Structure 1
Amino acid sequence: MHAASSRRRTLLTLLALCAELVLLAREHLHGGVVAHHLLANPDLPAVSNWWGLLLVPLLTWWTVGRIDRRARLAASGGSSLKPAPIIAFLCALAYGATLAALFAAGSPLVDYIFFGLLALALVVRLWHAEYLLGFVLAMSLVAGPILPAMFGAVIALLSWLVHTAARALWRRLRPGLA
């Protein structure tokens, strides 16, 4: 790993940690750190936002490392990353922010946006780490980081499985292209 890449990874991880500390300090000063129930059901266990101190920096570290790895692989093949990871991150951030705002407002559109992510997973490679990070960061304000990370991981796995199966089927049907 290059020194600049390593510095960028460390800086972004520290920035994520500081952002999480600010959010938790705000919560602490305004009534205490929030815990969110699984599936927003009070009968199910709750997960404290304190876990974000561990998850958000680790997810950021992992994401930057994955992007650097993919960029090196693309460069060795004479191409660049498409779509650009920053665009993917910003799109996921916008999607998560929209979902969070609708959820906070109690809008009935939440279900459509929520399940629309399943449909999106069929056509977009949502298993890339930048999508997960953007979604988790945006949803953290409303649902904390853990529950969006769990949901995002399921969506990422679904997306990867669908795309992998489609690629395998395509190769089987078109052996000359493999």
Structure 2
Amino acid sequence: MKKIKAYIVGIVTFLIFGFLFWEHFHGGVTCHYILNQQDLPSISNWWSGLLLPILTWFLLSRIEKRLDKQFLQTKQTNNPISNVFWSFLTGLVFGILLSTSFTSEYKLFLDNVPYILIVLSFIIPIFYSEFILGFILGMTYTFGAILPMIFILIIASLGFIIYRFIRPLVMRTTKVFGR
């Protein structure tokens, strides 16, 4: 797993620096303003070059640790890697959809993002590292890595509360009333 992790981090590092150098030679590296307000501080995309490889390594380490712990506790026969892949892909697609909606100024989707994520929190654990990594990678082209990281950490905290505490209450309530 460590070799795969190193390859993934290497690919992410190569891609982010390739993107940053392309931006640099085509008009300059973009800066993103907090809340898209010009009077608030800006964050340069150069920070993504530092943050994204470190964040990728950290999140992949957390995935590896969680999978090892799950395997030792349950001796699962199904493939947990496919669950990781689908959660990563869900985060990636959601991040790409959010970025595309922002650049296309599709307000209907943007206005409902918090509600979509709350509903998604009842279905899948959006606080898992693979979802967070996919989400950040999906939004990096449009927003850099810093703003998506801040956004998803806030939303993932809410998702943790919903998935771990509210979802079980809803499930028990539906079982009681379903009888």
TM score, norm. by length of structure 1: 0.85
Call closer, same or farther: CA 1:55–1:113 in 2, change over 3 Å.
farther
Pick from 68, 75, 80 the counterpart of residue 78 of structure 1.
75
Q: Which moved more, 1:21-30 or 1:107-116?
A: 107-116
Pick from 6, 17, 20 the counterpart of residue 16 of structure 2.
20
- Deviation track 1:93-140 (CA, whole Å, cap 9, x = no partner) reads 111111111111111224245222233234421110111111111111
Letter in 1 for 2:121: A
Count of aligned pairs: 168
> Residues 80-95 of structure 1: matches in 2 within 5 Å?
80-81=79-80, 84-95=83-94
Alpha-carbon offset, residue 141 of structure 1 = 1.0
Quote the Cα distance in structure 2 between the aligned partners of 1:44 and 1:114: 23
Q: Which moved more, 1:82-91 or 1:11-20?
A: 82-91
Quote the Cα distance in structure 2 between the aligned partners of 1:111 and 1:21: 29
Q: SS where residue 44 of structure 1 aligns?
A: coil
Asked if 1:154 is matched to 2:151, the reply is no
Q: Which moved more, 1:93-102 or 1:74-83?
A: 74-83
> Residues 1-178 of structure 1: matches in 2 within 5 Å?
5-76=1-72, 77-79=74-76, 80-81=79-80, 84-115=83-114, 116-166=116-166
Q: SS where residue 109 of structure 1 aligns?
A: helix
* Aligned residues with identical type, % of pairs: 30
- Deviation track 1:61-84 (CA, whole Å, cap 9, x = no partner) reads 112111211221222121153861
- Deviation track 1:136-165 (CA, whole Å, cap 9, x = no partner) reads 111111111110110001011111122333
Letter in 2 for 1:20: I
Is contact 1:70–1:81 with CA below 8 Å preserved after alignment?
Answer: no
Q: Which moved more, 1:110-119 or 1:94-103?
A: 110-119
Any gaps of 5 or more consecutive residues in structure 2? 174-179
Alpha-carbon offset, residue 57 of structure 1 = 0.6
Any gaps of 5 or more consecutive residues in structure 1? 174-178
